[in-house]
Structure 1
């Protein structure tokens, strides 16, 4: 039997390596002769561990890979004492029985080892099986109740408890549409408001996005909206919403890639900054006027019907600097058509109240610089400060004038840098902007066109992991749009400083609490003026101080 134990071949290769002799009595005489010629003291080779130990097996042989797998994986193949395999030699039934028995011995060894391991880890296997069964049940439940196979829902609720105090010569009687003696909104009153936001992110191809944002809130003039002259506008909170508790579609658009470098955007309610190639600021603001490094001028509010295209330079390394170029069009009157007796709106008309914004930027995930230009039609410019909204309000030296503009050209420069690791160095965001207003109305009463110029600037700092991991410290100072030049007038008399300081406690991964204070030195700008400009009804100075605690829940 020693001969047969030295010649072992796996059962799976029997049909491939050599044909079995047709009859039980057939014997390979040459093979028996070979073994007969081997001396009695010849030593058989050990079980082979590599196919290269066979001198007569070559890579060109048709069963080379099968034999190699049997040797390396299963270890049940041996050769003749002289180091040969003799793959073309016929096999007797006795030889087949011997090699089959050898491979079955190996299988038995593996089976016994598996049984031992299964018994040793019986408790652990039972726990794993229970977990798998539980996961299968949960997956089945989720599949049965899932909202959508294409849509993900994210939610956020902000609760704000706080108030505003007013100071200056006379905080009760600056006459800007208020009766003499009327109080400013929210004078020394504490309010408690909320905003709830639900984001629906839908993708049909894995690369596109249909974005729908549903929002509601009960903020009023204390922290949202204003009296029409910019006073409460500068105190707008970034999370503020004044839908009166009614759910409304706040944003809705569709974006999709064009090739590997372009992204297209189109929607009936989309804001221009969603279509930018690069973000102009990394500062996380509390007051809305600090958004985007200054939420006025070129980057002012623009939610309306619009479309845009962004190009991003492709680089192999994600951290390498790259160029981006983007352009977008928004029409404030894009959802309105002509009405009898009234002017037309629509898209692409002179009454669209449209804005065209183009941005060029260069940077990496750690830093970025950008320049933007915007052209706005009459009614299209939106901003914070003075002038604000659709009209310019100026003191002409002899009286107060509210003048409509025909068009606005705005430019904005932005830059930001953030450290690769959190520490004592904060992220820094800075911005500067200029807007030039053209008007057919003359501010001084003389014939001819009139124009004016306003500027703005901003600096914001954020310290990640300040004092404790996960928390955030923020501080910002800015001058929102303030008039620097009026054609034919020597009385721009403007300027308004805004400051905020906050500390965000990250209570859990989904809950944060942010105490904040802010100060507005001259929110009415040039409309504050001196008392003689208002016939004795005005105040020479006026300021606002706000305080709040914002609690945010994300789900």
Structure 2
């Protein structure tokens, strides 16, 4: 009997009835049964008050062992009404007649629910068949994807950039040139928390008007080797130490790969490279080579600190104060809030062929971004200072920048940006210093400007027209424009 009950009723319902029927005191003659009590116990329609919640029984407590099972019977199936006095009498033994009446009432309700489900299934039979077909098709596609996927641990993403533009008075004459840069990045994780990054790169900016000097584009600075040749641009491994520390080691790693935060909201994929260095190109020289670094991020967020060492590669970054350095040591402390941040950085550089010895470089940079896109732009600003230990006529240099960016300008997804700053100035001496790619006369300001508008054509394609102007005290100004198209995949 109970086997059939378990098939028809929910397990909690059967358990409740079975426990009650099995009680030793449940054996009662039919003559001893009050039929009025029985009817009202088992059939809500005969009761004076419909029971819809277990809270209506004052003698049932949440600590009772069958509380949840009784709640399901009342609130889900509505087949228990209790006794005429409004109690459930859960501690009283149940007679077989009472069990039969309760079972009959609950079976009627379960049958009603089953019939309703059958009716709904018949009504939506066509939709259910379509849904089943789609699920089967999705499972087949997932199986095919898993069978042909590149790797279970590695993600591949790429950036391809093509530009058409020109500039005047660059040392290469007035030129119009077309260039490209392609980067393929393989990110591998073995534990879900570590990162092995391998990046391959190829391009032809090196000998173009946008390949060096004061018109160096941000997309071109990292290119090495001959044009159109594929090079290993990045190779480093990053892993956590505890919950707050992260270590990085690499045969080819950049300075900023080992910083806990970047203190600027001005995007790194704009136009002139001098505006991507947070106003301090001497400290943030993005030196690349073999390196090791360690950073700390507070568990509650906000405060962070970084320290790293990078040996100079053969093609040292010639657009910064530290061009040709043999190695750099960088230490940074910062704070990254929800929509703002600031950092102080110090970098010691052992210099190569540009300067005779070494330099001490500091930078102070900060940014703020609005919580929502509006006519109020994000603001990034920074200042840098360098002290050179050299026999050359100059011994100091400084730089600064302010960048603004408006998200969703005119059309959602598009962005407008502009920046102004120094292309690098020396404070004293009678010689010239190459800072930020610009040879400037000592004591005179050299300013650079850029204006760009990024059109997000699709999620993966953007087109950015831009104009720039570099004022060079005592020499002819440099100006030009470029149309940059970027593909991400």
Equivalent positions of 1:349-364 (< 5 A) are 353-364=326-337
Q: Is the 8 A contact 1:224 1:242 kept in 2?
A: no
User: Which consecutive residues of structure 1, in runs of 5 or more, have no partner in the other structure?
Assistant: 1-8, 168-183, 226-231, 336-350, 380-389, 392-403, 444-449, 526-539
Distance 1:504 1:269 in 2: 31
SS in 1 for 2:451: strand
Match of 2:271 among 273, 276, 286: 286
CA contact (8 A) 1:370 1:415 kept: yes
Residue 419 of structure 2 corresponds to which residue in structure 1?
476
**Is the aligned partner of 1:235 residue 2:215?**
yes
Does structure 2 conserve the Cα–Cα contact (< 8 Å) formed by 1:323 and 1:363? yes
Partner residue, 1:514? 464
Alignment-derived partner of residue 196 in structure 2? 210
What does residue 554 of structure 1 align with?
488
Q: Does 1:142 align with 2:145?
A: yes
Q: What residue number does 1:312 align with?
A: 297
Q: Distance in 2 between matches of 1:488 and 1:52?
A: 91
1:221 alignment partner in structure 2 = 207
For the pair shown, the structure with the greater C-alpha radius of gyration is: 1
Q: Is the 8 A contact 2:13 2:69 kept in 1?
A: no
Residue 285 (structure 2) aligned to one of 300, 322, 327: 300
Distance 2:275 2:71 in 1: 70
Residue aligning to 1:386 = none
Q: 1:248-275: per-residue Cα shift (whole Å, max 9, x none)?
A: 2211222222333222222111111222
Aligned residue-pair number: 452
Q: Secondary structure at the match of 2:168?
A: strand
Do the aligned residues in 1 keep the contact of 2:73 with 2:80 (CA within 8 Å)? yes
Q: Structure 1, residues 388-431: CA drift from partner, whole Å, max 9, x if none?
A: xx31xxxxxxxxxxxx4211111112122222222222222122
Deviation readout 1:111-138 (Å, 9 max, x if unpaired): 1111222233333323322321222122
Q: Is the 8 A contact 1:288 1:295 kept in 2?
A: no
Distance change (3 Å), C-alpha of 1:144 and 1:52: same
Q: Is the 8 A contact 1:155 1:196 kept in 2?
A: yes
The 1:425–1:84 alpha-carbon spacing in structure 2 relative to 1, beyond 3 Å, is closer
**Are 1:434 and 2:379 counterparts?**
no
Aligned counterpart for 1:272 among listed residues 243, 251, 255: 255
Q: Distance in 1 between matches of 2:414 and 2:362?
A: 34
State the Cα distance separating 1:304 from its structure 2 match.
0.9
SS in 2 for 1:286: coil
Shift of 1:96: 5.0
CA contact (8 A) 2:40 2:82 kept: no
- Distance in 2 of aligned mates of 1:16 and 1:275: 67
d(CA) in 2 for partners of 1:27, 1:333: 94
Cα distance change, pair 64–504 in 1 and its aligned pair in 2 (3 A): closer
For 2:192, what is the secondary structure of its paired residue?
Answer: coil
* 2-structure distance, mates of 1:41, 1:266: 78
Change (3 A) 1:476 1:80: closer
Q: Give the SS at the match of 1:454.
A: strand
Spell out, residue by residue over 1:37-87, the C-alpha distance to the aligned partner (whole angstroms, 9 max, x if none).
989999756664344555765656544443333333333334444555565
Q: Secondary structure at the match of 1:137?
A: helix
- What is the aligned partner in structure 1 of residue 110 from structure 2? 107
SS at match of 2:214: helix
Is the CA contact (8 Å cut-off) linking 1:10 and 1:77 kept in structure 2? Answer: no
Q: Is the 8 A contact 1:373 1:409 kept in 2?
A: yes
Q: Could you say which residue in structure 1 is the equivalent of 2:34?
A: 35
Q: CA RMSD in A?
A: 3.4
Q: Report the TM-score when normalising by structure 2.
A: 0.82
The answer to whether the 8 Å contact 2:39/2:101 transfers is no
Aligned mate of 1:370, from 343, 356, 365: 343
- Structure 1 residue 189 corresponds to structure 2 residue 189: no
Query: Could you say which structure has the greater relative contact order, defined with CA pairs below 8 angstroms and 6 or more residues apart?
Result: 1
1: distance between equivalents of 2:470 and 2:314? Answer: 34
- Equivalents in 1 of 2:284, 2:40: separation in Å? 96
Shift of 1:549: 0.5
* Inter-CA distance 10–309: structure 2 relative to 1 (3 Å threshold): closer
Deviation at 1:364, TM superposition (A): 1.6
Q: Is the 8 A contact 1:325 1:359 kept in 2?
A: yes
Matched, 1:329 2:309: yes
| TM-score with structure 1 setting the length | 0.73
The equivalent of 2:239 in structure 1 is 256
Check if 1:126 corresponds to 2:129: yes
